[in-house]
Amino acid sequence: MIHAACCHLKTIKSDPRISKPLQNWMFCVLHVKKMIAVLVLFIMKPAGSVSADWSVTFENPNPCAVKGSSVEFRCSYNYPDREIARKIAWYKGQFIDGDWKRIALSDIPSYQNRSEYLGDLQHNCSLEIQDLQDDDAGYYYFRFDTDKYGRRSKESVYLTVTELKARVNPKRVRAGDTVTLECGASCPLSTTVWFKDGHPVSKPNFTAQAEDAGNYFCAVEGQESVQSDPVTLDVQYSPLNVSVEVSHAGLLTVGSSVNLTCSSAANPAADSYTWYRSTGSSSVLQVGSGQVLCLPSVDLSHSGLYICQSRNRLGENNSTQVLLTVTETDIYRLILLVGIGVKVVFLLLLPLFIIQAWRRWRNSTADTESHDYENV
Ligand SMILES: *[C@@H]1O[C@H](CO)[C@@H](O)[C@H](O)[C@H]1NC(C)=O
Ligand SMILES: *[C@@H]1O[C@H](CO)[C@@H](O)[C@H](O)[C@H]1NC(C)=O
Ligand SMILES: *[C@@H]1O[C@H](CO)[C@@H](O)[C@H](O)[C@H]1NC(C)=O
Ligand SMILES: *[C@@H]1O[C@H](CO)[C@@H](O)[C@H](O)[C@H]1NC(C)=O
Ligand SMILES: *[C@@H]1O[C@H](CO)[C@@H](O)[C@H](O)[C@H]1NC(C)=O
């Protein structure tokens, strides 16, 4: 083939002493020798150094990034030391009029504010594109020019733009069941992280507790401002934190009215409440039902420890005990108070009486002495 090709090029200045066919033949021999020399040189040169002299290398030729986030094409380029890079440019492959063309990003208005060349005129050709949009997906190329040559990347970066899709599995659980969070995308992403109602979630699978109910979303680590749509986890549980509120603070007197109100955290909400009272002995009485226990007119027998039992279809739980003490009427207490008052007054006055009595006794002895003197 080489012979055939070169033997068609017949441009040796004719030497009158050599016949025409011989001239052609000599030209071919010379040419083939030259080509063999080049071939040998090429083969003997280490393969790496050929491409290392002039090359563009993309660290990740197939990046995947989330819509709205930013992406960095890490890139390096190489050329022989004797050259000096003068001009660089990134291009996007665009299909125009049935043909693939490379359009410089600087000529595409939508990239103007969003792309930033992070590289330099040495060997770094990294590019960042921010606020990614769906149509940013595609092929990207890099080109640099030295004083003598222009070099464009044979390979390209192919960018995929995806959207995050958060899933919680299952969406409705009972406390104690295992939940798995999945952050999906149409291509493999770097590390993703989870948030629940704005707070970081440490593990994407866990045993659900009542407080795990809420709205979850995922994001790519380092780009937390770009979030998936939220998904809701519903955790169902039997009543927790059952508590009783007493409408009347302090001592209760016979005949007064008091309401005990039961509240609890439950999902689904508690649908039945039962009230129990235990007295000193071990007996426990059921004394009512409904969220509010109304005691419109209490008497001494209402004293005791009260418990509210809250129930939904998953189970029941009890409040702690609440002590209710009923005392006698106000009048009885008044008598009691007056009694105490009298005693206090008496105790205060007693020393006065004693002092008074002592003074009187001393005066009477003085009188007797003077009387005796007069007699003398
Ligand atoms: C780029 O930003 C400037 C100022 O922030 C704005 O005036 C211009 O319209 C923007 N261009 C594009 C293509 O978004
Ligand atoms: C129960 O009470 C505790 C302590 O006050 C609280 O941390 C927890 O969130 C409550 N549980 C529910 C389900 O409200
Ligand atoms: C009852 O509630 C307490 C907290 O209020 C909780 O620790 C306990 O596990 C609950 N018991 C049942 C049987 O649900
Ligand atoms: C108790 O509840 C009833 C009805 O809900 C109400 O009429 C009454 O005033 C309440 N009593 C007290 C002491 O809160
Ligand atoms: C709640 O109290 C009632 C009455 O004392 C008792 O029968 C029941 O077992 C208790 N339930 C729990 C979960 O402690």
Please spell the DSSP secondary structure of 49-66, one letter per residue: HHHHHSEEEES-SS-EEE
Query: Can you give the C-alpha Rg of the chain in angstroms?
Result: 50
The response to whether residue 314 sits with its C-beta less than 6 Å from ligand 3 reads: no
Kindly report the protein residue whose alpha carbon is nearest to atom 1 of ligand 5.
Answer: 318
pLDDT value, residue 331: 67
Alpha helices in the chain (DSSP H): 2-6, 20-44, 47-53, 330-375
Domains of the chain plus CATH, in order, are: 2-37 (no CATH), 55-160 (2.60.40.10), 165-229 (2.60.40.10), 238-327 (2.60.40.10)
Give the distance (Å) from ligand 5 centre to CA of residue 318.
6
Q: What is the pLDDT of residues 212-226, one digit of tens each?
A: 999 999 999 999 999
Please report which ligand is nearest the Cα atom of 112: 1
Instruction: Take atom 1 of ligand 2 and give the residue whose Cα is closest.
Output: 241
| Tokens, residue 255 | 């005949």
Q: Give, as one character, the DSSP assignment of residue 211.
A: G
Find out whether the beta carbon of 210 lies less than 6 Å from any atom of ligand 2.
yes
pLDDT for 9? 40
Residue pLDDT, tens place only, 33-87 = 555 444 444 444 444 444 458 999 999 999 999 999 999 999 999 999 999 999 9
Strands 326-327 and 252-253: what pairing? parallel
Say if residue 11's pLDDT is above 80: no
187-206: string of b/e by CB count within 10 Å (b at 16+)? Answer: eebeebbbbbeeeebeebee
3-state secondary structure of 304: strand
Give the burial class of 15: count Cβ atoms within 10 A of its Cβ; 0-12 exposed, 13-18 middle, 19 or more buried.
exposed
Ligand 5 site residues (CB inside 6 A) read 276, 284, 307, 309, 316-318
The sign of the dihedral angle between the CA atoms of 363, 369, 370, 372 is: positive
Atom 6 of ligand 2, nearest CA residue: 241
Q: Is there a contact between 140 and 60 (Cβ–Cβ < 8 Å)?
A: no
Q: Of 206, 264, 212, whose CA–CA distance to 236 is shortest?
A: 212
How far apart (Å, rounded) are the C-alpha atoms in residues 126 and 227? 26
Omega before 170 cis (within 30°)?
yes
CA of 15 to the centre of ligand 1 (A): 71
Which of 276, 318, 319 has most ligand 5 atoms within 8 Å of CB, for mutation? 318
Distance CA 75, CA 70 (A): 16
Cβ–ligand 2 contact at 209 (below 6 Å):
no
Compute, in angstroms, the gap from residue 260 CA to the centroid of ligand 4.
9
pTM of the entire predicted model = 0.66
